[in-house]
Structure 1
Amino acid sequence: MAYNIENYLNNPLIHRDRRLSQSPSAWVRSFSCEELKPLIVCRGPIRKEAMDVYDEMGITHYGILLSEKDSIVYPNALSPELRKLTDNSRVHRVPDYSGASKEERVERIGQIIGIAKDNGYNAIFAGYGFMAEDDEFVAAIEEAGLNFIGPCSGTQRAAGKKDEAKRTALQVNVSVTPGIDNVTARTLVKNYSTRDSLVSLAKSKDLACDEKVLADESLTLEALADHILFASYDKGIDLFTVEELCAQVQAECAEMFKNYPGARIRLKAIGGGGGKGQRILGASLLVTKEPTQEQIDAAAADAPSLVREILSEVKANGVGDNKNVLIELNIEQTRHNEIQLLGNGEWCIALGGRDCSLQMHEQKLLEISVTQEALATEIDKAKKASLDAQAKALESDLTVLKRMEEESERFGQAVGLDSASTFECIVDGERHYFMEVNTRIQVEHRVTELVYSLKFTNPDDENDFFIVESLVEAMALLAMHKERLPRPERLLRFGAAAEARLNATDDSLSPAAGGMINYWSAPIDGEIRDDQGICLANPDSGHFMKYKVAGAYDSNLALLLTKGEDREQSYNHLSRVLRSTTLRGTDLATNLEFHDGLVNWFLANNVMAKPTTRFVVPYLTMVGKLKEEANKVDVVYAFVKMKKHFIKMYGDDPDVGKAVSEALDRKGTLLTRPMERLLADPHLLSGWLSWNKKNFKFQDGKVVWKRNPLGVLCETYEYLHMAWDPKKPAAEVIWSHDHELLENALTFYRELRTKLGLGIEQFVELNDIIQKDEPQLGYDEEMWKQIQSAHFGFEIGNELLGLLFMIAEKTGFYELRVEDDLEVVIPEYLHDPELQAAMKKVLVPPPATKEDEVVTPGGGMYYAQEAPGMPPFVTEGMHFEKGQPLFILEVMKMFNKIPAPFSGTIDEILIDGGDGTIVAKGQPIFKVTPDEKFVDVDPKEFERLRQETTAEFLSTVL
């Protein structure tokens, strides 16, 4: 239903301020939340956002909870929100938010509730941290008489645990991924295979089971086992060992591999999220249509170690913890779509979708809005442009989106959803499968806020209503006025929105903790930046304050959001945001350039493309190939060689030779500076090559320009954020003499095109006309010669830019493309794990090390064994093979097994890290004796090869 904005603006009863208490409408005033006194027990951008929203709502008594890692452990990592919240009585501390063990978690829950009660808070908000989905935490809050701003404990139990959610989905006719959701019950039944033995077990352990359930013979053994297991969790005891669970998972995986040949399996902790607690196994079977039993057994043999990793990662390996793990078919060519839900326990409304397919290591990177209105508009545009395949593909998406929204609302009502949650699905062509429900607000929730607002209308007066544009505000309203809130109407705000997660990761997207942010440029017009307060200036001096990127948390630094009338406009705006952002620091690595290259790749190909969750790694591998070739090109050497080439070509006439030399000297830095920048950053090169695919062609093995390279050069300076700006340091922009030369050239060609009636893309025609001996356009012979001379001077040497296209040709860059039906074509070789690993090292070379040492690839927490109680990966005197796990490095919540870079023998272990030790990047861990002697690359030989490759490339552009 269309929304009349004029009625909204002119109606005196409508209150646009978030302080509903100030509304002239008594009905609207009744929904004021100023009596809410929340304690914010989360961190990151959502904590700062909640503080801002509560301020705007008139909520004055709120506080924040810090862990010791926020305020003590990491220098300069002090929570930046404290620059705003200077009242120390509203800042509280606990050793750790959730604790390292079950006992510590229970202790922490008690401490948090005690802090709330002792300081006059009547509600708790947990944002999108893991505590937001802890049903025991929420139940304790409710029992203490406090309000939880989020789904209630009943909803948390029914939807927050992945196994329970999957069972509920099946009951309400929601499509689910094939797999097993009760492997713990099957493990128990393996040991107690009869009803009598299970009941005897429950009684012998004195478990508080329901006698009716124990006596119900209609229940399956597995359902009975589930009931008994939940009673064991309440008592805090284990009924099977981790080894027995691992063996059962291994057996189940082997059976699934047999039933789904050529597929991989995904293992997921029921309480994971944000990429944690998930592993995939079976890569070796991807290309095997009829695997042998030996191959199946070998693939399934990886399951036990992965299960242990998962349980450790989500802290579910303690006595009495629910250790259930979902075993699911991994849908390979899939997109990750999710539906934003909001409910009050009686009604449930879907607020459109978000495509989160662009992710890596199960961590989302770029999220975009998906709405019925936007898809309908794009379908109409495609049909008008006779893009039939694209229109058909978008119509399929619209059908799937409608189905997902319908199912999500049905599911939300089934679990009594009474706050914000997200219904996550994987989409495979025209099919979709329910994955899980996140019973909390999502990191990417603002993507939805930008496309939809909520209109709450008085049931007795349709002209009496208020508008909510924040999901954080909606959650507060639901916490205070749940049953009274009428089902809202969703109103379209903007046509599309996009969010890039700015993370502390290196060029290969591996977490990079420990860096210091020394400077961060201010947001540009229209940029929405959620940076958790890092950019808040020093309240005394007004200057930027240094910020340490701590390794204890996830890698996210900020969320960069943009909006637009359609997806292309939002992407274009995001591109401007990314290239306008300057981040400087010490040992600082971010994915800023990655996003810049990726967004421009889609802008140049098709923003409506349908990448799958398997896109980013092959794309990153291609970017690594770009860097590998770029490393072989010496631009200064190429320029000097090109200059010699042209002087020799025109050397018969000393005056012409001199003019050629002077012209090239004037253009040296104009050409080489942006090229060196592109060659140094493969992510930027990826975006540049994508945009300029239409501006050249290969003809007879030579690069031929279809457009004036000077225009491309001008756009390149803008693309690199190096356009002329007299206020900026010279090192950051085009130099003044280069700017003057480029502007003179562009003015010259603009006037000629105007007189000839040619467009900017008709460079070939323009060049042909200028080459004619007979004067054109009524010019006399002398003026025509001056025009030809100016054209020669402006164009000579521009061939150098063509070297960049040779890198694209050499790497097969343009083979990665988008088809007419919006499917992304990924060359098969980019899926090769060995190539992917090699290109990762090209993007981020390993730390310099001695040949008799193994060092850490980055900073983080070092563990010598797979899980507590397990033997260490290696011991002194032990021989290891290349690729064998040597230790675990926990970086920003992710557990990474570090493989041996070569084969050798452990001579000495330099660190005792069995229980976890903080290490720095490049820190020696082992003294070793390699099996083979390392041979260093001769720098002179490397330079010779570099010049040889440069000369080879140059021959194709001259």
Structure 2
Amino acid sequence: MAPTVDTYKSNPLVHRDRRLGKSESAWVRSFACEDLKPLIVCRGPIRKEAMDVFEEMGIRHYGILLSEKDSIVYPNALAPELRQLTDNSRVHRVPDYSGASKEERVERMNQIVQIAKDNGYDSVFAGYGFMAEDEEFVATIERAGLKFIGPNSITQARAGKKDEAKRTALEVKVSVTPGINNVTARTLLRKFDTRKKLMLVVEAREFDIDPKILKNEKLPLEELADHILAASYAKGMDLFSIEELGEQVRLEVAQMFEKYPASRVRLKAIGGGGGKGQRILGGALLTAKDPSDPKLIEEAAAEAPALVREVLNEVKATGVGDNKNVLIELNIEQTRHNEIQLLGNGKWCVSLGGRDCSLQMHEQKLLEISVTQEGLAAAIARAEKAGRKEEAKSLQTDLEILKRMEDDAARFGQAVGLDSASTFECIVDRDRYYFMEVNTRIQVEHRVTELCYSLQFTNPQDPKDSFVVESLVEAMALLARHKERLPKPTRIPRFGAAAEARLNATDASLSPHAGGLIRFWSKPIDGEIRDDQGICLVNPDTGMFMRYRVAGAYDSNIALLLTKGDDRLDSYHQLSRVLGRTSLRGIQLATNLQFHYGLVNWFIGQNVMAKPTTRFVVPYLTLVGQLKEEANKLDVAFAFAEMKKHYAKQVAGEDPSVAKALAEVLDRKATLLTRPMEKLLEDPHLFAGWLSLNRNQYRIENGKLLWLRNPLGVLNDTYQYLNMAYDPKAPAAEVIWQHDDELLKKSIRFYQELRKTFGLQKDEFYKLNEILKSEAPQGGYDAETWGKIRAAHLGYEAGNELLGLLFMIAEAVKFFDFRVETNLDVTIPAYLNDPDLQARMKKILVPPPSTKADEIVAAFGGMFYRQEAPGRPPFVTEGQHFDKGQPLYIIEVMKMFNTVRAPFSGTVDKIIMTGGDGTVVSKGQPLFKITPDEKFVPVDPKAIELERRSRTGDHLKAVLMTLEQKFSDAGPKRTSVVAA
């Protein structure tokens, strides 16, 4: 829930009274949940949302669990919910939510159960983090006689583990991704390759296995191996080493590469989630001339053992007796990530539409949008009416796929006895889809679905007796309390579309950026739905905004920003407005706010119904990096001075007053033109969105840039886009200056009247230009008035050519080659997939921390590790030579392990970082003293300046080629023109 009440809460169409116990209907009252006593064992936005929903349901006896990594000190508040829940007896603490090892995890589970029993809680809500999908944790809760507000342990086992879910999907005839689900069984069989040897393993280790299974000689060996492995997990034993597993994965991966040439392979730990425990290998085969070359396949597969260890480390499955199964799947390259929201009570299961989560990076979702049958049907109708046949056909395919996914998802949910909220995740490849996994929990993006559908539960004995549920958290609580009694609900459409942007603590390249301090956050605007963990709750004692430190111990998410609309375009426009008006400031603070603003407007400028794949974001960032690299070469002040010289040339030899007046006109417009330009050039994400919105405002003709729309209109929109519209109460540095605003508004009114006179549209400025070239009066004006109009036109347009430099930068980097086609596919230029270019552009977006030539410093902050895993040798030692691309260290930040590789080759002279593994380092902290193989030559600042001016001059040629024509068209009365 938004911390400050906005339309989401106050609009009766959106929010209903959740206190069923207050209903006049006895049947409805029977579903009251006021007596539920839940302990909330999750953090972030979902913890605050659960607190709000439980309060609204009339649940008063609930508590929250805090980890010691959650600060409870106001100046560094990582638990802002404490400003709302001030009863200390309902706030409980543990060292860490899930523990760092298997032993700690078991200890933590028992500790949570004890906290619940000691404090009178009867249920546990785990949200979407930590133990929400932990079958063992859920079973522990159930054995203790507590309710789990989420899927039960049996469902967790059948649907939550990726290998079991895939087997179930095959049983119920759901399409799955090609791959191998039982590599651990195959590893065991490689070691004990006969039934006799397997039986000896069972006997020697005294495994408890059903005798019927052991006596069934028709049972395939792989199935028998699975049963033996299950018994080994129960007894806490390992039957093979991680090295043996890695070798088996290597062999399987090599066979996958042979079977599917020019493809990559994805490794997924069965207990992963939220991007954890996944790696992709085989990138070199995508671009290889002969991807079936045995040597190349061998090299690509050789990465597998190290990656297996990485994924198991991330999901903490390296302990003795842990289930170390890893899925080996074909990586569908041109794929979209779609998911279906499910809700069930163990007998019935309903699907609640879909969400497109394709816009992601590092397996972490960034922007999520609703996909509903009603929304797609309406979009098809609009496309057909507008004559966009290819778009309509493409959307029809999506509608058919969505129907199949919803049907299959509900059937799968029923097959596993789903008794709460879960998500059926799929990858979509044009007219096909493949089941990927089930998240047996509520999702981060569940609110997207809530805005599109509500649930109506109707009395089977009386169709007029019903109640409506609009919150999935509320539905989960209802199911935990009244599971079997709840009748199958009907879904009711609410809003036409919804979108969610995840506001994360990341830098401009979307790399994690922990440690920043939030000092100010603007209030939510009308229509904004902000799930911000309660950060915007003020100090109850002072009424002041509290500082909030983004520690990054768990994940990078700061808040979820949602909007709704009549259709997807409307929801995108609303989201753009929210992002543009959001101000978030602090110390060493970096977020992806500007990335989202640029991205949302990129789609608005192209087509919001576009079908980006999961491979969209990295090449998009690479393109934005190129935009930044080219923008860095532009000197706006120098360009303005050069433009003034070109104008002066046009009046050379005439009355000196003409040149003086012309210079005064240009100087008056200097800040009006240059301030928004500099802001766009400074932030490439803002620039990318602006370019997409304005891509149809110009064209290049014979090397000249021609405006299709009046640049003053574009300039006016630019000030709005940059949230720089005039506001007398705002700091002058943040908005258009008053004299510039008056000039701009005056010019806009002037051209609006002319367009009205000649019946022209915004994008027909070139036609108005042609009309104004005529010395003979047009449009019914008399000669004197027409002369003043032409004079004013030349004055208002003077200098506006400068804006065209922004388009020349786009032309230089071929920005518009990255586009949405008429069939909604996104064309990504192949060169943007070059890993070397991607790495270089990442450094352009976020330059590496400054360092000495003989040092390697931490690329970003987090927990430092010198080796791949506990017990493994360090990546580098003192005196060791390292090659470019060789792993040097690992930094764990926001639950992801980031292997940092050498940017060049050299020798380690000394290890400066003396702390042990797990020591926290900050960005730029020296780690190694080194001697590079090649000497670094510093770049001369004067050479950089000369290059900027040269590049600026090149771009100016195209935008100033029209100047001579402009003055010749103006006629002989230049003095009056300039004076106007």
For Structure 1 versus Structure 2, the TM-score category normalised by the shorter chain is: over 0.9
Per the alignment, residue 347 of structure 2 pairs with 346
Secondary structure at 2:444 match in 1: coil
Aligned to 2:513: 512
One-letter identity of the residue aligned with 2:282: G
CA shift, 1:217, in A, is 1.4
Aligned: 1:956 with 2:958: yes
Contact 1:865–1:914, Cα closer than 8 Å, also in 2: no
Letter in 2 for 1:849: T
Deviation at residue 129 of structure 1 after TM alignment: 0.5
Q: Does 1:731 align with 2:733?
A: yes
Residue 15 of structure 1 and its aligned partner are, at CA, apart by 11
Task: Tell me if 1:720 matches 2:722.
Answer: yes
| Corresponding residue number in structure 2 for 1:213 | 213
Answering whether residue 898 of structure 2 is matched by residue 896 of structure 1, we say yes
Q: Deviations over 1:188-226 (max 9, x none)?
A: 111111112112212211222222211111211111111
Residue in 2 that maps onto 1:186: 186
**CA deviation vs aligned residue, 1:591-645 (integer Å, no higher than 9, x gap):** 1111111111111111111110011111111000100000000111111111122
State whether residues 334 and 613 of structure 2, in contact with CA within 8 Å, keep that contact through their aligned partners in structure 1: yes
Q: CA deviation at 1:263?
A: 0.6
Inter-partner Cα distance in structure 1 for 2:532 and 2:918? 29
1:264-275 equivalences under 5 Å are 264-275=264-275
Does residue 702 in structure 1 map to residue 704 in structure 2?
yes
Deviation, 1:902, is 1.2
Query: How far off its partner does 1:72 sit?
Result: 6.8
Q: Distance in 1 between matches of 2:914 and 2:316?
A: 22
Contact 1:697 1:703 in 2 (8 A): yes
User: Which residue number in structure 2 is paired with residue 291 of structure 1?
Assistant: 292
Counterpart of 1:133?
133
- Please name the residue that 2:791 is paired with: 789
Q: C-alpha distance in 2, partners of 1:312/1:77?
A: 29
Partner of 1:335: 336
Deviations 1:326-376 (A, max 9, x none): 000000000000000000000000000000000111000000000111111
CA displacement at 1:530 relative to structure 2: 0.4
Q: Which residue of 1 aligns with 2:923?
A: 921
Cα-to-partner distance string for 1:758-778 (whole Å, 9 max, x where unaligned): 222221121222221122334
For 1:877, which of 876, 879, 891 is the aligned residue?
879
Matched residue, 2:236: 236
CA–CA separation in structure 1 for the residues paired with 2:556 and 2:25? 45
Q: Decide whether aligned partners of structure 1 residues 913 and 268 sit closer, same or farther in structure 2, where only a CA change above 3 A counts.
A: farther
1:860 to 851, 854, 862: 862
Give the corresponding residue for 2:401.
400
Q: Distance in 2 between matches of 1:124 and 1:882?
A: 49
In the alignment, which residue of structure 2 is the partner of 1:142? 142
| 2-structure distance, mates of 1:207, 1:917 | 41
In structure 1, C-alpha distance between the alignment counterparts of 2:298 and 2:916, rounded to whole Å: 31
Alpha-carbon separation, structure 2, partners of 1:252 and 1:194: 20
| Larger deviation, residues 534-543 vs 257-266 | 534-543
Does the aligned pair in 2 maintain the 1:232–1:239 contact within 8 Å? Answer: yes
In structure 2, C-alpha distance between the alignment counterparts of 1:895 and 1:462, rounded to whole Å: 54
Residue of structure 2 equivalent to 1:356: 357
C-alpha separation in 2, matches of 1:284 and 1:768 = 54
Contact 1:865 1:888 in 2 (8 A): yes
Give the one of 779, 802, 805 matched to 1:777. Answer: 779
Deviates more, 1:194-203 or 1:858-867: 194-203
1:52-80 per-position Cα deviation (integer Å, ceiling 9, x unaligned): 00010000010100001002799714311
Distance in 1 (CA, whole Å) between partners of 2:749 and 2:144 is 74
In 2, Cα distance between equivalents of 1:332 and 1:942: 40
Give the letter for the 1:499 counterpart: E
Cα gap change, 1:921 to 1:782, in 2 (>3 Å): same
Tell me, in whole angstroms, the C-alpha distance in 1 between the residues paired with 2:287 and 2:315. Answer: 31
State the match for 1:7 in structure 2: none
Structure 1 runs of 4+ with >4 Å offset: 72-75
State whether structure 2 residue 114 is matched by structure 1 residue 153.
no
Secondary structure in 1 matching 2:850: coil
Displacement, 1:537?
A: 1.0
User: Could you tell me whether the CA contact under 8 Å between 2:72 and 2:82 is conserved in 1?
Assistant: no
1:502 matched residue in structure 2: 503
Gaps of 5+ in 1: 1-13
* Structure 2 match to 1:257: 257
Quick one: distance in 1 between partners of 2:674 and 2:467?
57
Q: Does the aligned pair in 2 maintain the 1:538–1:544 contact within 8 Å? A: yes
**Does residue 379 of structure 1 match 2:383?**
no
Q: Which moved more, 1:223-232 or 1:286-295?
A: 286-295
User: 3-state SS of the aligned residue for 1:486?
Assistant: coil
Distance in 2 of aligned mates of 1:160 and 1:778: 75
Q: Do the aligned partners of 1:15 and 1:24 also contact (CA within 8 Å) in 2?
A: no
For the residue of structure 2 that corresponds to 1:34, the secondary structure is coil
Q: Which string of whole-angstrom CA distances, capped at 9 and with x for unpartnered residues, describes residues 59-109 of structure 1?
A: 001010000100279971431111111111110000000001110000000
How far is the alpha carbon of 1:387 from its aligned partner?
1.1
Give the conservation status (yes or no) of the 8 Å contact 2:291–2:297. no
Letter in 2 for 1:188: L
1:816 to 802, 815, 818: 818
- Residue 201 of structure 2 aligns with an amino acid whose one-letter code is L
Deviation of 1:293 after TM superposition, in Å, equals 1.2
* Residue number in structure 2 paired with 1:800: 802
1:793-831 deviations in whole A, cap 9, x for unaligned? 110100000000001100000000111111111111011
- Counterpart CA distance in 2 for 1:15 and 1:657 is 65
Partners of 1:686 and 1:213 in 2: how far apart? 61
CA distance in 2: counterparts of 1:55 and 1:489, whole angstroms: 25
Q: Secondary structure at the match of 2:254?
A: helix
d(CA) in 1 for partners of 2:168, 2:371: 26
Q: 1:580 maps to what in 2?
A: 581
SS of equivalent to 1:787: helix
Q: Separation in 2 of the partners of 1:648 and 1:296?
A: 65
Q: Separation in 2 of the partners of 1:757 and 1:824?
A: 36
Amino acid at match of 1:161: K
Most deviating of 228-237 and 707-716: 228-237
> What is the alpha-carbon distance in structure 1 between the residues aligned to residue 213 and residue 455 of structure 2?
44
Does residue 937 (structure 1) correspond to residue 948 (structure 2)? The answer is no
Instruction: Identify unmatched segments of 5+ residues in structure 2.
Output: 1-13, 961-980
Range that drifts further, 218-227 or 716-725: 218-227
CA contact (8 A) 2:97 2:130 kept: no
Deviates more, 1:773-782 or 1:96-105: 773-782
Task: Say if 1:504 and 1:513, in contact at 8 Å, map to a contact too.
Answer: yes
Root mean square deviation of aligned Cα: 1.3
The residue type paired with residue 373 of structure 1 is E
Mapped contact 2:15–2:470 kept (Cα < 8 A): no
Give TM-score scaled by structure 1 length: 0.98
For the residue of structure 2 that corresponds to 1:69, the secondary structure is coil
Q: CA deviation at 1:912?
A: 3.2
Partner of 2:42: 42
Say if 1:451 and 1:875 are closer, same or farther in 2 by CA, change over 3 A. Answer: same
- Say if 1:861 and 1:890, in contact at 8 Å, map to a contact too: yes
Answer whether contact 1:753 1:759 (CA < 8 A) is retained.
yes
Paired residue secondary structure (1:841)? helix
Change (3 A) 1:831 1:73: farther
Name the SS for the 1:896 alignment partner: strand
Cα distance between partner residues in 2 of 1:529 and 1:545 = 17
Residue 8 of structure 1 corresponds to which residue in structure 2?
A: none
What SS is found at the alignment partner of 2:78?
Answer: coil
Partner of 1:547: 548
1:5 corresponding residue in structure 2:
none
Corresponding pairs, count: 945
Aligned-partner Cα distance in 1 for 2:234–2:357: 36
* 1: CA distance, partners of 2:394 / 2:797: 44
The answer to whether the 8 A contact 2:355-2:449 is kept is yes
SS at match of 2:762: coil
Contact 2:72 2:79 in 1 (8 A): no
| Aligned counterparts of 2:519 and 2:766: Cα–Cα separation in 1 | 48
Which amino acid in the other structure matches residue 359 of structure 2?
A: L
Tell whether the 8 Å contact from 2:178 to 2:329 is kept in structure 1 after alignment.
Answer: yes
Aligned to 2:425, the other structure's residue is in SS state strand
Displacement of 1:783 = 2.7
Distance in 2 (alpha carbons) for counterparts of 1:805 and 1:488: 53
1:19-38 paired onto structure 2 within 5 Å:
19-38=19-38
- Is the contact made by 2:78 and 2:550 (CA closer than 8 Å) also made in structure 1? no
